[in-house]
Amino acid sequence: MSRVTSHLKDFLASGWPAVLATACGATLLGGFLVETAGGPPSLAISLYATSYLTGGYATLDPLWRNLRRGRFSIDLLMIGAAIGAAAIGYWEEGAVLLFLFSLSGALEGFALDKTSHAIDRLLDLRPATAQRLDAAGAERRVAIEELAVGDLVRVRAGERFAADGRVVVGDASVDQAAVTGESMPVHKRPGSDVFSATIVVDGALDVELTGVGEDTTLARIVALVREAQQQKAHTQRVLDRFEPWYVAGVVVATAAAYGVARAVGLGPADAVYRAMMLLVAASPCALVISTPASILSAIARGATAGILFKGGVHLETLGRVRAMAFDKTGTLTTARPEVQRVIAVDGGTPAELLARAAAVERFSEHHLARVIESAADGAALAEATGFHAHRGMGVQARVAEQVVRVGSERFLREAGLEWPPEAEAAIASCHADGMTVVAVGRRRVEGIIAVADTVRPEAAATIATLRAMGIERVVMLTGDSPAVARALARRLGLDEARADLTPEEKVHALAEIARDYGDVAMVGDGINDAPALAAARVGIAMGVAGTDVALEAADVVLMGDRLERLPSALRLARHALAVVRQNLAFATAVIVVLVTSVLAGWITLPVAVVGHEGSTLLVVLNGLRLLKAEI
């Protein structure tokens, strides 16, 4: 009971539409009681007239604006039906119509506001104050409005970040669910980015602010979702174009119904009554509201899970895709190369080979040098002297009075080193698996170190899930070598891998796939895939919390760096499409049943009103179920 009372209070506090609908109902009830008790007819009519004014007031302004533009709207049908009922003495039926119409409108607005509040509540997660550090390291609590980029703030366990920043000092776990939707805390250390409204679970962090106020990731998310909810889905745009023509048709049909009723001998009052019933029964309120109720709820549900749809049209399109294309680096892989294999072929151990290579590579600026150094972390490295780099080939230095060369096959061959057959076989095996090979040797090749970008642990399972959900074609588009692309495609079970592609060639590849499969989604990291993301029917950027490029280029943004959230986005889009279809089918069926019943003379005006407004509320409630959808 307390929940019902709470909802009623919230409804009455939601604005003038709710207050006017309540006043309309109260004066309707008053007129009915006076009439039933045999009171003065003038008093009953006065109360009904007041009910008319309060019930119809909210529709007068949009009705007038539409008529000035020469556009017919549903409001015209409702006001016309109520006036027609009053003209023939059916004040009570007209008041019931306006009460249910105004109540339905107020409840729709109240219900759809919940989708907006679901997003606005994210901003409420920001703390009102923050602990700012001065130049001497002393703490001072200030309002978040006083914070500026470059300020240093301290956030302890249980506290929320007031703005975006980068960790300067500290080591802690942070709950980022409010921004990225991740269920598990993320470890943060110096250099890590943190986001407004996220929570320090344990430890404490000193953070240099990089974004404050409306320039935080959270604020951009909220702005993005608000903008998306204002963009109409394709189905909704079609219905909006259809509405004025449909309303005009209903007006003509109503006039024809009056003429037919008079022609078959009905009196003027009965003919108007029949015409008014048809006017109400054929009104497409439920049909028009069915799509936005569902799409707005789905957009809000996605945002709370770290999935941002930049418009209803993108939600609809994703629900229809049959093929998906993926970038490789940073999408199917982590974009963090690691040593995958160390193979010694000349009597030494893999650990000795790795330590010898690292002793030379620590002087190199090449990115693979850092990978080899990291893999040898903890090993005692010998001193290397006489370091020399051969650009694009490799490096060499003297270790224990012997020259050690580390680099490409060509580099070691041109240096005249001997090549054992075992080294040839190891290199061929690593190349077949798509790895980059670094050879190590002194007078002869002593072994190889194979380096490769790390495949995301969840990549194979995500691809399998997409296939199980009915995605017919899964393609990888990459600028990497064919050998690397083929190896990864085999490992993940992709249908096709297209390699050595420039950004422009990726766009052409998407067009080719679309010719066979229709709508195609492109999944990338949102930074170097902007052309392909923009060209795809649905561009999906992942793992890019705080990245402006992704928010601009993509149609859908997965805020967390987790590929497995992609099936959730697809599942939500398909669920939303299913609910839209349910609503459209139900709303159409109700109109058909009501119109048939009116023409057959089976129902009265109050029954037609209840059927019309009841169906409108039902499609709204059905759409709101998406706010709690399991994805």
- Candidates 516, 506, 562, 566; CA nearest to 536 is 506
Which of 101-105, 214-218, 264-268 is predicted most confidently? 264-268
The percentage of the chain sitting over the pLDDT mark of 70, rounded to a whole number, equals: 89
CATH of the domain at 435: 3.40.1110.10
Q: Do both 451 and 472 map to the same domain?
A: no
pLDDT (mean) for 244-260: 86
Q: Do both 525 and 556 map to the same domain?
A: yes
Q: Do both 473 and 556 map to the same domain?
A: yes
Whether residue 533 is contained in a domain is answered as yes
- Last residue of one domain, picked from the residues 546, 566, 586: 566
| Cα distance between residue 486 and residue 533, in whole Å | 23
Whether residue 216 is contained in a domain is answered as no
pLDDT at 563 over 80: yes
Over residues 339-391, the pLDDT tens digits come to 999 999 977 899 999 999 999 998 888 778 889 998 987 677 888 999 998 87
Contact predicate 487/433, CB 8 Å:
yes
Q: Do both 113 and 13 map to the same domain?
A: yes
Q: Do both 75 and 181 map to the same domain?
A: no
- The band of 132, judged by pLDDT with boundaries at 50, 70 and 90, is very high
pLDDT at 269 over 50: yes
Mean pLDDT in the chain? 84
Whether residue 387 is contained in a domain is answered as yes
Count: domains in the chain: 4
Whether residue 172 is contained in a domain is answered as yes
Q: Do both 61 and 172 map to the same domain?
A: no
- Last residue of one domain, picked from the residues 526, 547, 566: 566
Question: How high is the pLDDT of residue 115?
Answer: 56
Q: Which of 57-61, 306-310, 407-411, 434-438 has the lowest mean pLDDT?
A: 57-61
Instruction: Provide the residue type at 572 as one letter.
Output: L
Whether residue 21 is contained in a domain is answered as yes
Q: Do both 92 and 241 map to the same domain?
A: yes
Whether residue 24 is contained in a domain is answered as yes
Q: Is the backbone of residue 516 left (phi > 0), alpha (psi -120 to 50) or beta?
A: alpha
Q: Do both 313 and 372 map to the same domain?
A: no
Over residues 435-467, the pLDDT tens digits come to 889 999 999 999 999 998 888 999 999 999 999
Whether residue 217 is contained in a domain is answered as no
* 52's tokens: 């008319």
pLDDT at 155 over 90: yes
The percentage of the chain sitting over the pLDDT mark of 90, rounded to a whole number, equals: 33
Question: How high is the pLDDT of residue 317?
Answer: 92
Contact predicate 166/192, CB 8 Å:
yes
- Does residue 555 have an active-site annotation? no
E strands in 75-138 = 129-133
CATH of the domain at 190: 2.70.150.10
CATH of the domain at 528: 3.40.50.1000
Task: List the beta bridge partners of residue 628.
Answer: none
E strands in 106-240 = 129-133, 139-143, 152-156, 164-170, 172-175, 186-188, 193-194, 199-202, 204-211
Contact predicate 511/522, CB 8 Å:
no
Q: Do both 229 and 269 map to the same domain?
A: yes
Whether residue 219 is contained in a domain is answered as no
Q: 3-state class of 425 per DSSP? A: helix
Catalytic residue among 327, 453, 480, 555: 327
- The band of 120, judged by pLDDT with boundaries at 50, 70 and 90, is low
pLDDT (mean) for 557-566: 84
Structural domain of 400: 336-455
Q: Which of 37-51, 87-101, 409-423, 459-473 has the lowest mean pLDDT?
A: 87-101
What pTM value is reported for the model? 0.72
- The band of 117, judged by pLDDT with boundaries at 50, 70 and 90, is low
Question: How high is the pLDDT of residue 187?
Answer: 83
Q: Do both 108 and 236 map to the same domain?
A: yes
Question: How high is the pLDDT of residue 4?
Answer: 46
- Last residue of one domain, picked from the residues 566, 596, 616: 566
pLDDT at 546 over 50: no
Contact predicate 452/301, CB 8 Å:
no
pLDDT at 68 over 90: no
Q: Do both 184 and 325 map to the same domain?
A: no
pLDDT (mean) for 582-611: 90
Q: Do both 233 and 103 map to the same domain?
A: yes
pLDDT at 335 over 60: yes
Which of 215-219, 284-288, 500-504, 592-596 is predicted most confidently? 592-596
Question: How high is the pLDDT of residue 1?
Answer: 47
Over residues 500-538, the pLDDT tens digits come to 887 778 888 999 999 999 999 999 875 557 778 878 889
pLDDT at 6 over 60: no
Contact predicate 239/293, CB 8 Å:
no
Sign of the CA dihedral with 40 first, then 43, 44, and 46 last: positive
- The band of 296, judged by pLDDT with boundaries at 50, 70 and 90, is confident
